[in-house]
Structure 1
Amino acid sequence: MKNTFLLILAAACIFLNKKLYAQESEEVNTLLDSNSINTETIGFFIVPTVGLTQMDGSTTSLLNVRAGISLKDEISFGAYFSTALNEINPESETIANVYMDYWTVGAFAEYTLLSKKVFHLSFPFYAGYGEVQMDNENGDAGLGEANFLQIEPSALLEVNLHKNVRFNLGGGYRFIGEMDYRNFNQSDISGLTAYIGLKIGLFK
């Protein structure tokens, strides 16, 4: 009886040991497969850019800053912020000593073609929300503001100055959604913008 019990106990131990080994060697199924996420192909960057455009007949300088991540140095996405650097004086404005402020914020997606070449092309596409408002030297001029949606497809020539620094030069066209403010509307502040800037980051 004792020997029979020992044989059964030994067989149970062998069975459990095989079962535990099989469970350890079996891969866990998950919704997100870690093997499909290759961090070696993910980079990140920041792009400070200066732009020049026209808004309601007034020459406007813009500061555009965007930051994001890139996949295989080809597809990128992230967020941006753009604002006027100078006081904008719309031609249609009838009140003296006021100027217009402009800013927009949103997201972007970008496709970069042949990034390993010294000279290559990049195509950022912006989509965001913005505001214009008339101000004076005391701040708010009491003339309200207007908000709008904006998209801007653009194209840039990029030059690899260093493995972590790229110079870019190009332009885009700003499309403003329906908006009426003071004596102008969306067609008066939509338009072409010329850009020059640097892309700084870890490109993979």
Structure 2
Amino acid sequence: MKKTILSFAIFIVLGTLTSVFAQENETIFQNRGIWRSGGYAGISNKFTKIDGRFANMPEIYGGWFINQRLLIGIEGAATTNFIRVPELEQNFRARKMTYMYGQFGLMTEYVIASTRKVHLTANLMTGSGFTLQYDRRDFDDWEWDEWDDDHDENARCFFVMEPGVQVEFNLLKWMRFSPGISYRKAFNAKGNGLSDSDISNISYNVTLKFGRF
């Protein structure tokens, strides 16, 4: 009888130990690694203000999409419309002097509940901004040979960051529509008659995204 009880006890202990060692070592911060990898590109148009005037700014960005949550990539954008330069701020005399603002750098985007039809995203662009002035004449009147001499010298670069949020709609497996809002903040922008406050402003955007989500 004692041998039977002892054998039964040993069986229970061995079974318990086997179960314990077979379990995954659980921790507060699980290291699950990269279990799904994809990528996508976004084509966007931003509506904002530079020096208090309306600015239309196309944008493109894209990169590596990790675990259906985090995008790490690059971004570039620039204004396309006429933004008048006051006469006293002009670097050189021209018939139709305009400002150009652009930016490029690192883009990170965090997607919340990516598989749901409608969800939220939060993004952050950090990188370099630049301004320059140029004569916005008719296309046929442009003298391309003079571009480097007249315009590269008046380009001014500075640090810029732009956090934003979007509401995202999953239209197709490979396409999404994402209207949103962001705030552009310039740091130490000097030259061309524009200050940090002239460049920093809210942007409203509409974006189409294509890729493997």
TM-score normalised to the size of structure 2?
Answer: 0.72
- Give me the CA root mean square deviation: 2.0
Amino acid at match of 1:71: I
Amino acid at match of 2:97: V
Match of 1:56 among 45, 51, 55: 51
Amino acid at match of 1:147: C
1:186 equivalent in alignment to 2:185:
no
Q: What's the counterpart of residue 6 of structure 2?
A: none
How far, CA to CA, are the matches of 1:92 and 1:190 in structure 2?
22
Using the TM superposition, give the Cα deviation of residue 164 of structure 1 relative to its aligned residue in structure 2, in angstroms.
0.6
How many residue pairs match? The answer is 167
Q: What's the counterpart of residue 13 of structure 1?
A: none
Within 5 A, what are the aligned runs for 1:131-150?
131-136=130-135, 137=137, 138=142, 139=147, 140=150, 144-150=154-160
Q: Deviations over 1:28-56 (max 9, x none)?
A: xxxxxxxx765x60011000000000000
Find the residue that maps to 1:181 and give its secondary structure: coil
Find the residue that maps to 2:188 and give its secondary structure: coil
Q: What's the counterpart of residue 110 of structure 2?
A: 111
Q: Deviations over 1:106-145 (max 9, x none)?
A: 0111111011111100011000112100101345368722
Within 5 A, what are the aligned runs for 1:88-107?
88-90=83-85, 94-95=89-90, 97-107=96-106
Instruction: Return the index of the structure with the highest Cα Rg.
Output: 1
1:196 equivalent in alignment to 2:206:
yes
Q: Measured at CA, do residues 89 and 118 of structure 1 come closer, stay the same or move farther in structure 2, by a change above 3 Å?
A: same
Q: What's the counterpart of residue 29 of structure 1?
A: none
Match of 1:158 among 131, 145, 168: 168
Using the TM superposition, give the Cα deviation of residue 183 of structure 1 relative to its aligned residue in structure 2, in angstroms.
3.0
Q: Deviations over 1:67-102 (max 9, x none)?
A: 101111101110011111212224686546200112
TM-score normalised to the size of structure 1?
Answer: 0.75
How far, CA to CA, are the matches of 1:160 and 1:117 in structure 2?
8
Q: What's the counterpart of residue 120 of structure 1?
A: 119
| Identity rate, percent | 23
Q: Measured at CA, do residues 198 and 113 of structure 1 come closer, stay the same or move farther in structure 2, by a change above 3 Å?
A: same
Find the residue that maps to 2:198 and give its secondary structure: helix
How far, CA to CA, are the matches of 2:100 and 2:89 in structure 1?
16
Q: Deviations over 1:141-178 (max 9, x none)?
A: 68722111100000000000001100000110000011
How far, CA to CA, are the matches of 1:51 and 1:60 in structure 2?
8
Amino acid at match of 1:54: K
Q: Measured at CA, do residues 184 and 130 of structure 1 come closer, stay the same or move farther in structure 2, by a change above 3 Å?
A: closer
Q: Measured at CA, do residues 53 and 92 of structure 1 come closer, stay the same or move farther in structure 2, by a change above 3 Å?
A: farther
